[in-house]
Structure 1
Amino acid sequence: MVLTSVLTKEANGQNKELNTDFQKMDMDALVKSASRVIAPLWPIATFAARHPWMGLEKQSFEQVARWLKNTRNVDIYPSASMIQSAKDRGEIDEDFLELGLQRWLSSHSINIPREMAERFCRASLKLDPLPTNLLSSPELNTLVEGLSVLNPDRKFSMKPLSLYVKNQNSERLVNTLDHHMIKWCKFYLDDSQAGWTMPNREKGFYRAWKQLISHDPALSKGQRKLLKDWPEETHVALTKALTALEIPESQIPNYLEGHLLSLPGWAGMMLWRSQQSSLERSLLTEYLAVRISMEWALLKPYLPLSNQQSHKDISVASLLASWIHWGSLTTEEWSQMSTIEQNEYLTFAYRFDETVRRKLWLEAWEQTYTEQLSEKINSKQSVKNDKETLAQLAFCIDVRSEPFRRKLEKEGPFETIGIAGFFGLPIATSELGCTHSHSSLPVILKPQHKIEESTGESELKQYQQRKQVANSLSYTFKRMKQNVFASLLLPEISGPWLSLQMVARSFVPRRANGAIRNLREAWLRKPDTKLSLQHVHDTKADIPVGFSEEEKVNYARQALSMMGLTKNFAPLVVICGHGSQSTNNPYAAALDCGACGGAAGGFNARVLAVLCNLHEVRESLYTEGIEIPEDTVFVAAEHKTTVDDLHWLYVPKLSQSAQEAFDRINAVLPKVSHDANRERLSHLPNFHSHFKNPKTEAHRFAEDWSEIRPEWGLARNAAFIIGQRDLTEDCNLEGRAFLHSYDWRQDHDGDLLANIIAGPGTVAQWINLQYYASTVAPHYYGSGNKATQTVTASLGVMQGNASDLLTGFPWQSVMKSDNEVYHSPLRLLVVIQAPREYVERLLNNDPTFSQKVENGWIRLATVNQEGNWENW
């Protein structure tokens, strides 16, 4: 193996600068394989939902749960208190728990009486802990004397050696190592907030660190000297560190994984950066080279270490105590058993461990929700309205759209449609006056076109001048804060204004923030704009500006087909993007689109509406069988989820029938907004029902800079329903379901369903599992208390000034209080309205989706053409 030859040459001092392409490829491959245990982390300003176990789906959910428990002591099944609360709320039917138990017993060979096994299991499923006095009793110790320790066959997994060593202050060296790595990661990754950038940063993380490490006062003189003479090349340094620590070749992948899991946030940011640019493609390898090199320097006085085991032997005493406590086994009965019988009882208790117990509870919780959802859908009393549909409104599949759609449909002959909120447009948007563009599509995709806003030359010049003045004030303030001498004068200059602003925002937040926003908008006076939809040939641009004529038709056809809107057009079709509104909120982007990196959907909605109004596009669609009536007009709007309001973005000249529909919508919108806000706000713990105007209160939540919970976001999401609106119309889905329109009768080859699963379905799963992880393991996968977070380097948040870069949602996004969970941690239920053969074809053609279902990462149910529900 290449690694062996490298180690030998390094040990003999024959080639300290060895750096062959083959060696690089080998080490990069090891790092890439290890990176499966973490997930990319986007900067918080472009927050995107991340499935923390996306690289582990080849294993079952239970296998990953056990691995995390063994390697990091992280539980990813709901805790006993969460389960008990859910049971108290009526969210778990214990009949499903019993069914799950019987399935588990039937699937395992049991060499003890079935009656004894069932009694033990039912008692242990109460999830009460074993009494401490029983575990420490002399009688129990006497019973287990002479019994061999149960040491089941487990895979060996080597943990970082620094985990086992403590310094003179009794602090584990891994904590010291983490502290150093946090510091260096902040130095390197901060390219926008710091007043001074890291020297030699352009040479890469490892080389920049290597140039500075010999001057780090946080290290001892001896440690600095050791690292000063360290190899200049990343791959050589990493190889040398692993050699010096005497890590067996077979354990190197596990060892790298352990180090990535020590700070999964900073490592995840490095992974994301490595995927964005070819210049940083080896950044994760550099991160590990820095980390393990520093680990060696910290550990050198303690080397060599004795072999460290990654698992503990199972305590026979705890297994026997579980039989005494839960199985009602007496000491006399135990003493009368043969050694073989005793081993069978202990083995059964070991197999039916806490992980299995909580797994059964989770599955019962999920099955209860599935049953309640199927009953709700099957028992709905839909009253067909004979009146002609006045308007069709396409909303994002986001779960927050469901209550608003439901309220709107009650107020008139309106049809609502669900589609991914970027509307199938792979674009980057450049707003008026901006020199840069930002992606406006799910982060799992790359933009293929750039769409720019434009206006008249004189209007643009004046607007840019006004915008430059506003931005210059902010820029100057920031530079003064970072300048040593100017910062001394800054409080004298800005103090009165900032104090007045603070008082106003604290005591009259809605008025203050509204006034500041209105003042800025009045100053900027953004003119009317046009969109650059026509293709522009630019060899210097990374992606083309605008669309070709064929692309315009393709994107319009694709969007209409995904919506199932290819016939029976209403006079008015509203394309509704969605966004949010909040103040002083690091997680503001998370309240926009959970898939699109914080990009709101209004721009995309406007682009699609304009495309569908183009005469040449309609003519081409007509030749393909999609006939859009002449009096049908497409308009664009944006649903503000924090205040449940609809803002019009693009309204061209309307036909008479379209104008009637537009007026009708405007007439009912105040009531729709009122009712949607009242329903949504009633779930917030600090909302007082005596407020007469929910809309006013919603705006207060959005404008108050001290408000830690402006809205719940996508908390309590549980299902992704793919089907016609008739399936769920008039159902109160409680804002828990992603709703994607789909008509299997228009999808003969199954391509539409496959695209929905591969795109929106994947995004919905990522969102679901990020909320899940932030709930069940908030200290590892969440981000702690919002009130004590520190925004760092424009990248993300930490707790205090030196923690991991936190990856998930804060407690306030998933918890109703310190002791009460709001989000129900259920794995996503995908419901497909289609004949069985459609779903079988999907599973056969999409091995990734089939793997998710088989390994328990999502759950699957179908509703066939007869309306029958089937769980898979």
Structure 2
Amino acid sequence: MSGTSVLMKESSKTKDSQSDFQEMSAIIAAASQVIAPLWPISTFAARSPWLGLEKQSFAGVASWLKETRDVDIYPSALMILAAKRKGEIDEKFVQRALQQWLDSNSFPIPRDEAERFCQAALKLEPLPTELLSSSKLEQLVAHLHELNSGSGGKFTMQPLSSSIENQSHERLINILDHHIIKWCKLYLDDSQAGWTMPNREKGFYRAWQRLIQYDPALSKNQRQSLKGWPEKPQTALKAALLALEISESEIQPYLEGHLLSLPGWAGMMLWRSQQSSAEQELLTEYLAVRISMEWALIHPYMPLTNERVAYKASIASLLASWLHWGELPMEEWLQMSDAQQQAYLSFASIFDDQLRRKIWLEAWEQTHEERLRQKMISSQYKTGHKKTPLAQLAFCIDARSEPFRRQLEKEGPFETIGIAGFFGLPIATSGLGHTHSHPSLPIMLKPQHKIRELAEEHELQLYQHRKQAVHSLSYTFKTMKQNVLASLLLPELSGPWLSLQMAARSFVPRRAGRFLRNLREGWLRKPNTELSLHHADKREVGLPVGFSDQEKVNYARQTLKMMGLTKNFAPLVVICGHSSQSTNNPYAAALDCGACGGAAGGFNARVFAALCNLPEVREKLTYEGIEIPDDTVFVAAEHRTTVDDLEWIYVPKLTEAAQEAFARIEAIMPDVSHKANAARLAQLPQLQSQLKKPSAEAQRFAEDWSEIRPEWGLARNAAFIIGKRELTEGCDLEGRAFLHNYDWQEDADGALLASIIAGPGTVAQWINLQYYASTVAPHYYGSGSKATQTVTAGLGVMQGNASDLLTGLPWQSVMATDFEAYHSPLRLLIVIQAPSEHIERLLKTDSTFRQKVRNGWVRLASVDREGHWRNWQPYTINELLNEPYKERSE
């Protein structure tokens, strides 16, 4: 059937009416829930790969992914057994869960036999291969009908091309994916290609439609089948689906199957479609291109005769499991009736591998929770009378701040505070001399203001001239590389310098990095700058520059309340953003703020500190009950996580008391940095021995361009604790917890808690699930080894030159070795210090958060006013909403 005949058939059945387009758009929007938006790697943002699936239970999504994509999102048996050997799982929780499961289900088999089977199966040992291949087992299976083990979960239809092979025995879907990757790279490339895709400005589909007839990778017949294909992507998509004989009821699951085939490239298209109205139909265009090309590839094989069959459990493995784990003699099996045999096989199919590993995962999580509870309770008893702090330091909730804060508190009368590292400022920032701005806030929010860095006009012009010289040199080098003739001369010109740089970076990376950085800074000579805090009568890119007088007060008040810092101010208040430092690292942005698209927090810290130092802001805050003493000064710094030190970025004139505190911090900082680096580097697999100079070694890691693991990032994150610092002060939380200050007594209406859960709580969950997914399913949700990654189109990484656009973290971010995981894949535990009635109010009013807890995407616990720990299980939430509430405390 030619493309023209497809269109004739299509036009006889349907019209391109507005209602048809709206219906198809709604179907595509619903199908897109199975993928998550993917940001460019330069603005890396943590993302949960299951963002659109949280209305379903975690267990349900796990079953669906296993059945439809053969993607397993429970930790593997090897990972679980390794955690057990390391003492991370208390088996009492496994036994408790097993008994609860057996008690809550009724099976027509003896309880002792069922329990014996389960106990043996929970050892997670594979069935003997000699049993599975034995002739006796084959004879027994021959007398049985196959047992359907479908879970009845969400169904996603596989693309037709996945079941067809060409004459070379290559599956058509692999050929299709190869074509789609090529077209996506051509269209999305913004920085690497010397030549841009023709007709790119007309959109992805139109550009493809114009060029596909010249694609030499397709046969003449394949190109002919797409000749005269519709001009509009929605029309083309409908025509392709009709030609493939996909019924209306199958369209959404069919589109889901195609989106899940390359979730990285599809996720990038989804993200781009959300950024501007010009590309809002980009995901539709992607599907139109993909399914149109599938039609061209499948066309010679039409009509298809192979039936679509549901997944069937292997009767052999089910029966073998009873013979081995259940210790059931073959003779006894032969004496059973058909109904008894069916009951035994049904039981084995229900207590399957996924359920067994689900029990182990929950036991792992409960063990972590129990040990965290014991630490926090013992900390409460140890906390005695506190000295008046010499300085208060506010850090991002980032889990890497926790060990640094602990070392700092040990060295003197310092109070540390946890808060989201954008400090409540919805701003886009523009550095000195930059023509563009960068959103510097969590990605789920939009900037409301633009803050520019300013300097004297004369100094600014000189700085821009020097910066332009550097830019011109870089641009010339890139242009010569992409020019056929100039590239022949380039090695002769640049070879000596680049060879010298390569040798220096390879053999003396720390000194080379320091030299190059000083050379650049010495040439640029950035002048002293001010910030455009005060509202100007102009807008840039639709945003007002600066704040109005009332906005300054509002943002200062809101953030101080979020910090719990409304009284008892120390002479020095340090607002600490955080950043990372690494060389030759595509994932450098991932080590900065996981919430803010790779933005470092120093600029926001400086803006907030400067706001709090304004006399007019302090005066108005006094009227609202927040009185900042005259001798208190706010300064800004940046915690550099790769080298664990503080870099001062804004220090105004200090009062005598503030100067004393500042000098004290400066004096202890080398020792704090030394101890923090020693503790952190000891966790890296290549540095197990005692280091004499940990700070120097950390600096080498940051400068070494061959280093695949400059730091662990947020690996092993497992908890988000919302409460007073006294709750965790003195606890060694091992850098595994996000810490946010909160005082429920200052939050009568629950607004602060709701804001923390909706903002930082969501970000922490996304970070947690990204690490989780990259660990349990690295082939699908991770990005493979850094050593074999290819940066493509300026957008992200691939393995080789034609893979999916990889969505998750590299192998080196979650694995200690090729065979041992470093990150413990546990779902985030949120601990809130507040009375039960406050938690009940939160769960009743925040349906999104309630859904996450009930469906197992996060776990929830609370610590009440008496210090009692309470675990909020899904059944307690059901009771809260539907039945009389009964207290269950531990």
**TM-score strictly above 0.5:** yes
Higher alpha-carbon deviation: 810-819 or 145-154: 145-154
Unaligned runs of 5+ in 2: 873-890
Question: Does the 8 Å CA contact 1:158/1:309 hold for their aligned counterparts?
Answer: no
Q: Please list the CA deviations of residues 558-610 of structure 1 after superposition, one character each: whole Å capped at 9, or x if unmatched.
A: 10000010111111100000000000000000000011111000000000000
Residue 385 (structure 1) shift: 4.8
For residue 525 of structure 1, what is the aligned residue in structure 2? 525
Match of 1:870 in 2: 870
8 A Cα contact 2:117 2:322, kept in partner: yes
Using the alignment, how far apart are the partners of 2:306 and 2:142 within structure 1? 27
Contact kept, 8 Å, 1:569 with 1:628, in 2: the verdict is: yes
The equivalent residue for 2:608 is 608
**Contact 2:539/2:545 (8 A) holds in 1:** no
Q: Which residue of 2 aligns with 1:648?
A: 648
Structure 2 counterparts to residues 530-541 of structure 1, below 5 A? 530-538=530-538, 541=541
Deviation at 1:306, TM superposition (A): 2.5
Whichever residue aligns with residue 750 of structure 2, its letter is G
- Contact 1:17–1:236 (8 Å) recurs in 2: no
Q: Is this contact kept in 2: 1:159–1:310, CA < 8 A?
A: no
Whether the aligned pair in 2 keeps the contact of 1:265 and 1:805 (CA below 8 Å) is yes
Matched, 1:769 2:769: yes
Given candidates 77, 80, 97, the residue that maps to 2:77 is: 80
The structural deviation recorded for 1:9 is: 9.5
Q: Which residue identity is paired with 2:91?
A: E
Q: Percent identity?
A: 71
* Aligned equivalents of 2:836, 2:237: Cα separation in 1: 52
**Residue of structure 2 in register with 1:443 after alignment:** 443
State the match for 1:860 in structure 2: 860
* 2:637 aligned partner: 637
**1:829-858 alpha-carbon deviations (Å, 9 max, x no partner):** 000000000001000000110000000000
Which amino acid is the alignment partner of residue 511 of structure 1?
A: R
User: 1:737 aligns to what?
Assistant: 737
Pairing 1:98-177 to 2, within 5 Å after superposition: 98-152=95-149, 154=152, 157-177=156-176
Q: Is 1:34 aligned with 2:31?
A: yes
Q: Distance in 2 between the 1:718 and 1:629 partners? A: 38
Look up the match of 1:780. 780
Q: How does 1:785-800 map to 2 (within 5 A)?
A: 785-800=785-800
Corresponding residue for residue 53 of structure 1: 50
Change (3 A) 1:623 1:100: same
Distance 1:182 1:406, change over 3 A: same
Normalization by structure 2: what TM-score? 0.96
Per the alignment, residue 464 of structure 1 pairs with: 464
Quote how far apart the aligned CAs of 1:789 are: 0.4
Tell me if structure 2 keeps the 8 A contact 1:42–1:48: yes
Matched, 1:585 2:558: no
Shift in Å, 1:539? 5.1
| Residues 682 and 690, structure 2, Cα contact 8 Å, conserved in 1 | no
Check whether the contact 2:432–2:453 (CA below 8 A) recurs between aligned residues. yes
Match of 2:555 in 1: 555
Instruction: Give the corresponding residue for 1:4.
Output: none
The answer to whether the Cα contact below 8 Å between 1:17 and 1:232 also exists between their aligned partners in 2 is no
Deviation of 1:29 (Å): 1.0
- Whole-Å Cα distance in 2 between the matches of residues 639 and 14 of structure 1? 63
CA shift in 2, pair 1:696/1:540, >3 Å: closer
Q: CA deviation at 1:149?
A: 1.8
Per-residue CA distance 1:265-301 (angstroms, 9 max, x = gap): 0000000000000100010010000000000000111
Cα distance in 1 between the residues matched to 2:647 and 2:385: 27
> What secondary structure is seen at the aligned counterpart in 2 of 1:816?
coil
In terms of mean alpha carbon deviation, does 155-164 or 221-230 score higher?
155-164
Partner residue in 1 for 2:283:
284
Question: How far 1:536 sits from its partner (Å)?
Answer: 1.3
Deviation at 1:688, TM superposition (A): 5.1
Query: Which letter does structure 2 place at the counterpart of 1:714?
Result: L
Q: Which residue of 2 aligns with 1:434?
A: 434
> Does structure 2 retain, via aligned residues, the 8 Å contact 1:17–1:233?
no
Corresponding letter in the other structure for 2:43 = T
Shift of 1:681: 0.3
Q: How does 1:171-320 map to 2 (within 5 A)?
A: 171-309=170-308, 311-320=310-319
Which residue of the partner structure matches residue 349 of structure 2?
350
1:152 Cα deviation from its structure 2 partner = 4.3
| SS of equivalent to 1:276 | coil
Q: Give the Cα–Cα distance (whole angstroms) in 2 for the partners of residues 443 and 699 of structure 1.
A: 30
The 5 A counterparts of 1:355-370 are 355-370=354-369
Q: Could you tell which deviates more after superposition, 574-583 or 188-197?
A: 188-197
Give me the whole-angstrom Cα distance separating, in 2, the residues matched to 1:806 and 1:444: 22
Hey, what's the Cα distance between the residues in 2 that align with 1:407 and 1:23? 63
Q: Quote the Cα distance in structure 1 between the aligned partners of 2:136 and 2:791.
A: 55
Paired with 1:390 and 1:301, the residues of 2 have a C-alpha distance of 78
Structure 1: distance between partners of 2:224 and 2:58: 46
- CA contact under 8 A between 1:71 and 1:310: conserved in structure 2? no
Could you tell me which residue of structure 2 aligns to residue 484 of structure 1? 484
Aligned letter for 1:783? S
- The alpha-carbon deviation at position 21 of structure 1 amounts to 2.3
Deviation per CA, 1:692-742, whole angstroms, max 9, x where unpaired? 110000000000000000000000000000000000000000000000000
Aligned to 2:883: none
In 2: Cα distance, 1:711 partner to 1:597 partner: 19
- Match of 1:3? none
1:679 aligns with 2:679: yes
Conserved 8 A contact 1:92-1:365: yes
Alignment length (residue pairs)? 867
Indicate the larger mover: 710-719 or 188-197.
Answer: 188-197
Match of 1:841 in 2: 841
The yes-or-no answer on 1:91 pairing with 2:97 is no
Displacement, 1:11?
4.0
Partner of 2:712: 712
Q: Is the 8 A contact 2:786 2:811 kept in 1?
A: yes
1:607-636, Cα deviation, whole Å (9 max, x unpaired): 000000111111111111111111111000
Per-residue deviation at 1:336?
1.8
CA-CA distance at 1:758 after TM superposition:
0.2
> Within 2, Cα distance between the matches of 1:309 and 1:151?
15
Aligned counterparts of 1:286 and 1:558: Cα–Cα separation in 2: 43
**Equivalents in 2 of 1:689, 1:317: separation in Å?**
50
Per-residue CA deviation, residues 486-543 of structure 1 (Å, 9 max, x unaligned), is 1111111111111111111000111111101100000000000000011112256411
Partner of 1:818: 818
The aligned counterpart of 1:546 is 546
Residue 662 of structure 1 corresponds to which residue in structure 2? Answer: 662
Alpha-carbon distance in 2 for matches of 1:840, 1:250: 40
Separation in structure 2 between the aligned mates of residue 310 and residue 553 of structure 1, nearest angstrom = 64
Q: 3-state SS of the aligned residue for 1:76?
A: coil
- Contact preservation (8 Å) 1:34, 1:257: yes
Distance across 2 between alignment mates of 1:665 and 1:466: 35
The residue type equivalent to 1:409 in the other structure is E
**Cα distance between partner residues in 2 of 1:241 and 1:699:** 56
Deviation at 1:8, TM superposition (A): 11
**SS, match of residue 382 in structure 2:** coil
* CA deviation map 1:620-656 (0-9, x unaligned): 1111111111111100000000000000011111111
Does the 8 A contact of 1:157 with 1:310 survive in 2? no
RMSD: 1.5
In structure 1, what residue type is equivalent to 2:463?
Y
TM-score norm. by structure 1 comes to: 0.98
* Distance apart, 1:307 and its partner CA: 4.9
Residue 121 of structure 1 contacts residue 352 of structure 1 at CA under 8 Å; is this kept in 2? yes
Q: Quick one: structure 1 residues 306 and 237, their matched pair in 2 at CA, closer, same or farther if it must change by over 3 Å?
A: same
**SS at 2:64's partner residue?**
helix
Aligned twin of 2:377 = 378
| 1:72-115 per-position Cα deviation (integer Å, ceiling 9, x unaligned) | 10110000110011001100000000011111112222221111
- Counterpart secondary structure, 1:812: helix
Match in the other structure for 1:62: 59
State the AA in 1 paired with 2:62.
A
- TM-aligned CA distance change 1:615 to 1:232, over 3 Å: same
Query: What per-residue deviation string (whole Å, max 9, x for no partner) do you get for residues 390-424 of structure 1?
Result: 11100000000000000000000000000000001
1:862–1:870 contact (8 Å) kept in structure 2: yes
